[in-house]
Structure 1
C-alpha cells in the first residue's frame, strides 16, 4: 500500500463533510465508529463541518472549505456543496483521502479501498442505477488532495450551467476527472434499494439481504438507514395490510405511483441496526 499512502505518512485518511441541519452529530459519530471498527490503524477521520457540537473527541474537525460562488445551483438533484472539497488544499491533509457520505453503512473492511489504483488516481464506487453509462458514485470515492482543482474551476465558472448539463455531481466528476477515473470492484459498494431490497412481491415477506461481498452499503435518494431499520420508507406504514390498503389512495402514497408504492415497502432490516451504531 506504500504508493497509495504517499503524502499521508502511511496513514489512511478518511473524510466526510457536513453542513446545515439535515444530518446531526449522531450521523457523524456513527460514521466514525463504523470506520474505526472496520479499518486497520493508523488512520484519521476528518469532518469538514460548520458545527462541531457533540462530536466524538477522536474526530478531527476542520472548518468547511469556502464556497467559491455566491450561491449553489437550483432545481438540481446533485449535491454540489461537495465541490468545497475539490480545492488545492484540504485543511491540513495531504495525499490520498477516502470520502464517505454521512449516511453510508460500513459492513466490512475499508483497508482494500486504499489498495486499488495508484497514489495519484481518482477511484470511484460504481453507480449501479445507470450501468451502461459507466458512472462513478461519489457517496464513496478516493482522490488525492488538490487533484480535483480543474473540476472546481470548471464548476465555479458556470455553476448553474454545469448543474443543468450534468444534473448530478457524480456524473460531472466521472466525465471530467483529471487523468480519468478508476473504479472499485462493483460488489464492494452496494446500493440498498437495488442490491439489498427484494423485488415485488418478495419485499413484503423477506427482510432486505446483505450480500457477502459488501463492504459499504449506500442509501441514496431519500431512503436512510433509520428507515431500513424501522421498515418504514417515506413515513409509510410498516404494516403489510395497511400498506396495501393505501395503494389506491394518492395522498397515502405520498407522490409515488402505484407500482413505486408497492415496490417501496420494506421489512425491518436487523443487519443495518447491527452495523449502524456508535
Structure 2
C-alpha cells in the first residue's frame, strides 16, 4: 500500500497504520497500537465494526481536525490520488458509493476521507448500543452513512470502482475475457471478494488451484473442488488471470 501511494500521490504524505502486529511493515509506515473498540463486538453480523475506532475524538498518529484518507489494504491503486485530498471541503466525509445498492445513496468505506475527530457521535452512538446498531444497519458503512452529521458525500463515480461489479466481465463472458480497468478509475476495491492476490493468479479463492482451465471449473460444478457450496455461484465465480494487478499491487 505504501509503495502504491508513493507512486500515485504528488504531495508529501504520512501513512499511519493501526495494528496489533507491526512485524514486517516497512519503516516509512507509522505504526500505532490498534485501539480497543470500547464495547462488545456485535454478533451475527458481517460488518467490519472495528473501523468505528476511526471516529473517536482522537486517532493515534493523526492530527485532530485535519482530513485523513482511509484505504482498505486489499485495494489496488491504479491512478492519481491527488484529487482525493482536494475534492470538496476539508470537513466533508466523503465515501465511495455502495455499488451493490446504487439507488439507496449508501456509502462504502473501502475508500473514504474524514476530518479526524469531526464526527465522534458515530462511535458514541455505536458504543451505546453496538448490537442494536448492527442489527438495524447490518454493515458499519451503512451506520456511518446514517450517523455522519450533515450527511456524507460521494466520490465522483469514475474514481473508485468495485472489481467484481465494474472490472470483471459479466457471466459467461468472464470465461473468455480478462478483467479490465474502467476509464478514469484511480482505485479498484475488492469488497466481499475475490481478493487481488487470487484473481492475479486466475482463481476466485484459495479453495481451488490457480490458473484452472474453464473445463476444469465447469466440471467441478458437479464434482470436485468448488469455490462455493452453491453450484450456481461456483459456476459464476470464474476469473482469468489479471495481469494488471501484478503491475500495480507491488513494492
TM-score bin (small chain):
over 0.9
Aligned residue among 52, 77, 93 for 2:22: 52
Conservation of the 8 A alpha-carbon contact between 1:124 and 1:140: yes
| C-alpha distance in 1 between matches for 2:73 and 2:149 | 25
| Alignment partners' CA distance in 2, 1:92 and 1:267 | 40
Check whether the contact 2:92–2:115 (CA below 8 A) recurs between aligned residues.
yes
Provide the residue aligned with 1:43 in structure 2.
Answer: 13
Q: 2:56 aligns with which of 79, 84, 87?
A: 87
- Contact between 1:147 and 1:178, CA under 8 Å: does it hold in 2? no
- Give the CA deviation at 1:233: 0.8
Shift, 1:168, TM fit: 0.5
Q: Is the 8 A contact 1:104 1:219 kept in 2?
A: yes
- Contact 2:72-2:111 within 8 A present in 1 as well: yes
- Structure-1 residue corresponding to 2:240: 267
Contact preservation (8 Å) 2:200, 2:241: yes
* Alpha-carbon distance in 1 for matches of 2:77, 2:178: 18
Contact 2:97–2:155 (CA under 8 A) maintained in structure 1: yes
Q: 1:220 aligns with which of 174, 182, 191?
A: 191
Q: Which residue of 1 aligns with 2:208?
A: 236
So what's the TM-score if we normalise by structure 1?
0.85
CA shift digits 1:150-182 (9 cap, x unpaired):
010000011011111111101111122112111
For normalisation by structure 2, the TM-score amounts to: 0.94
Quick check: 2:30–2:61 contact (8 Å CA) kept in 1? Answer: no
Unaligned runs of 5+ residues in structure 2 are: none
Render the CA deviation track for 1:116-149: whole Å, top value 9, x for unaligned: 1101110111111111111111010000011221
Cα separation, 2, equivalents of 1:239 and 1:217: 25
The match for 2:153 is 182
In structure 2, the partner of 1:65 is 35
Mapping of residues 112-131 of structure 1, within 5 Å: 112-131=83-102
- CA shift, 1:254, in A, is 4.3
CA RMSD in angstroms comes to 1.3
Once the 2 structures are TM-superposed, how far is the Cα of residue 258 of structure 1 from its aligned partner?
A: 3.0
Deviations 1:214-253 (A, max 9, x none): 100001113110111011113335211110111224x633
Residue 212 of structure 1, CA deviation: 2.1
2:139 paired with 1:168: yes
- Determine the C-alpha separation between the residues in 1 that align with 2:240 and 2:61: 43
- Partner Cα separation in structure 2 for residue 216 and residue 192 of structure 1: 10
Q: What residue number does 2:47 align with?
A: 78
